[in-house]
Amino acid sequence: MQQAQGTSLLSRMPLYVRILLGMALGVVAGLVFGPATKPLDTIAQLVLRVLGALAPALIAVAVVQAIITAEIRGRVALRIGWLLLSNTTVAILIGLGVANLLRPGAGAHLPHPDRAPGVGTDVVKQLLENIPDSLLRPFVENRVIGVVLIALAFGIACRRLPDAKRKLAEDLVGLGFSAVLEILSWVIAVVPFAVFGKVASIIGSHGFHPFFALGKFVLAVLLALLAQTVFYLLRIRASSWVRPLPLLRGTRDALVMAFSTGSSTLTMPITYDRLKSRVGLRDQSASLGALVASNFNNDGTALYEAMAALFIAQLLNVDLSLGQQVLVVLTSVVASVGAAGIPEAGLVTMTLVFTAVKLPTEYIALLLTVDWFLDRCRTVINVIGDMTVASVLDGPNKAAQPSAEPAHEGAVLTTES
């Protein structure tokens, strides 16, 4: 009975608390047992390997569901697509720029992985290799670009079906998405054990030196997120009637909610309401930015995972070439397409980015020791990105009075998750 109560108490703990607990126990084990903790690294390898196997299917189903359930038609679709793509690309370039400039992982001297990165520098060749020559190969080889291309084609094809068949496809995809999310929850539940194993093996073999580098990585990510925020505010100032500081004041409730929950999905209703009632955006612009575009916006996570790939490469003293960094950009952009509706999206998509440049995914467990904090910061950036899209869509001139009409002009809102 007491054991059942203890298990129940552990399961009720938030994930970040369990991760911190695993980290603390890993530190103790590493200090007490020293190099004998090296075999515990196998736990992290197993958990992250399973997560990597699950990631392509999860991204594929998420992309298909996002396309089927969130319809945006005509010029509005093209404009939103451009805003989202450009925001995400700038975020990743900022992340890579800061990581290359500050090099937070340099000097840690962790051992080289068994299989060093072997991606060439020919960008065109890399692109061709990611174009699928079979439907299953991208899923087997974890090539996220091919996975998303197949998912986009399948989603668009489902949208063109007659209404009855489309509804059936939507139900089946929704069922598949729910099933994959359930499996994901099983894997996420054992992630703290992976953190324990990785931290124990690192402390036992290398001491605390790699964690000093991790502190520099946190500061570098925060600096990059700040730079992305500045970009958002400049874009709002240049392309909209909205002024940045009044926008931040009017939506501070949404920003606090985003940081406290770490979920842009839970924040969506507050973001939508504050954009309308306190900032004064049109209903259509607020709903398209806060409710529709948010299903595809994952700028903060894309920035973070690009920086994480460079950080781990620096820890391992592996130089990623320009071609490999271009592949990081492409993979991060593509992986972010359907990741906004996935719990622990950064953890899922990071496995795909690491696999693309052949970095060992078990080192993701090391990043999870600080991810609970950075995740909240990334969520704030994602929400500001939603606000940026909404503000730019509202145009250079403020409406005479807020429109009470629903957002039917060029878009149909269905935000299922």
382 token code pair: 């994602």
Query: How confident is the model over 6-30, as a mean pLDDT?
Result: 80
As a whole number of angstroms, the distance between CA 417 and CA 155 comes to: 16
**Residue at 9 is within a domain:** no
Is-contact 346 375, C-beta < 8 A? yes
Higher per-residue confidence, 330 vs 405 = 330
Res. 403: pLDDT tops 50: no
Res. 98: pLDDT tops 50: yes
Query: How confident is the model over 317-329, as a mean pLDDT?
Result: 86
Q: What total number of domains does the chain contain?
A: 1
As a whole number of angstroms, the distance between CA 182 and CA 184 comes to: 5
Query: How confident is the model over 124-142, as a mean pLDDT?
Result: 72
Amino acid 90: pLDDT: 94
Query: How confident is the model over 32-53, as a mean pLDDT?
Result: 87
Of the listed ranges 50-54, 86-90, 97-101, 397-401, the least confidently predicted one is 397-401
Per-residue pLDDT band at 181 (split at 50, 70, 90): confident
Please compute, for residue 373, the number of CA atoms within 13 A of its CA located in the half-sphere on the CB side: 11
Amino acid 196: pLDDT: 92
Of the listed ranges 76-90, 114-128, 330-344, 366-380, the least confidently predicted one is 114-128
Query: How confident is the model over 82-107, as a mean pLDDT?
Result: 92
- For all residues of the chain together, what is the average pLDDT? 83
**Residue at 251 is within a domain:** yes
DSSP 120: -
Per-residue pLDDT band at 416 (split at 50, 70, 90): very low
Higher per-residue confidence, 232 vs 397 = 232
Query: How confident is the model over 195-200, as a mean pLDDT?
Result: 90
CATH of the domain at 183: 1.10.3860
Query: How confident is the model over 277-306, as a mean pLDDT?
Result: 86
Amino acid 382: pLDDT: 92
As a whole number of angstroms, the distance between CA 243 and CA 241 comes to: 6
Per-residue pLDDT band at 112 (split at 50, 70, 90): low
Per-residue pLDDT band at 271 (split at 50, 70, 90): very high
Amino acid 8: pLDDT: 59
Amino acid 28: pLDDT: 93
**Residue at 406 is within a domain:** yes
The angle at the Cα of 364, spanning 28 to 264, to the nearest 5 degrees, equals 110
- Residue 338 structural domain: 14-411
Question: Where is mean pLDDT largest: 214-223, 278-287, 390-399?
Answer: 214-223
Amino acid 226: pLDDT: 97
**Residue at 99 is within a domain:** yes
Of the listed ranges 113-117, 127-131, 388-392, the least confidently predicted one is 113-117
Res. 111: pLDDT tops 90: no
**Residue at 3 is within a domain:** no
Query: How confident is the model over 3-20, as a mean pLDDT?
Result: 69
Is-contact 112 121, C-beta < 8 A? no
DSSP 275-329: IIIII---HHHHHIIIIIGGGT--HHHHHHHHHHHHHHHHHTT-PPPHHHHHHHH
Res. 396: pLDDT tops 90: no
Please compute, for residue 177, the number of CA atoms within 13 A of its CA located in the half-sphere on the CB side: 24
Query: How confident is the model over 47-60, as a mean pLDDT?
Result: 85
pLDDT digits (tens, 9 = 90+) for 58-69: 888 888 887 887
Amino acid 69: pLDDT: 76
Query: How confident is the model over 139-153, as a mean pLDDT?
Result: 83
**Residue at 6 is within a domain:** no
As a whole number of angstroms, the distance between CA 211 and CA 214 comes to: 5
Amino acid 10: pLDDT: 64
**Residue at 209 is within a domain:** yes
Amino acid 67: pLDDT: 80
Of the listed ranges 7-11, 38-42, 166-170, 224-228, the least confidently predicted one is 7-11
Amino acid 411: pLDDT: 44
Is-contact 287 76, C-beta < 8 A? no
Higher per-residue confidence, 404 vs 132 = 132
Query: How confident is the model over 344-360, as a mean pLDDT?
Result: 83
Query: How confident is the model over 292-297, as a mean pLDDT?
Result: 77
Rg of the chain (C-alpha set): 22
Higher per-residue confidence, 87 vs 296 = 87
Query: How confident is the model over 218-224, as a mean pLDDT?
Result: 96
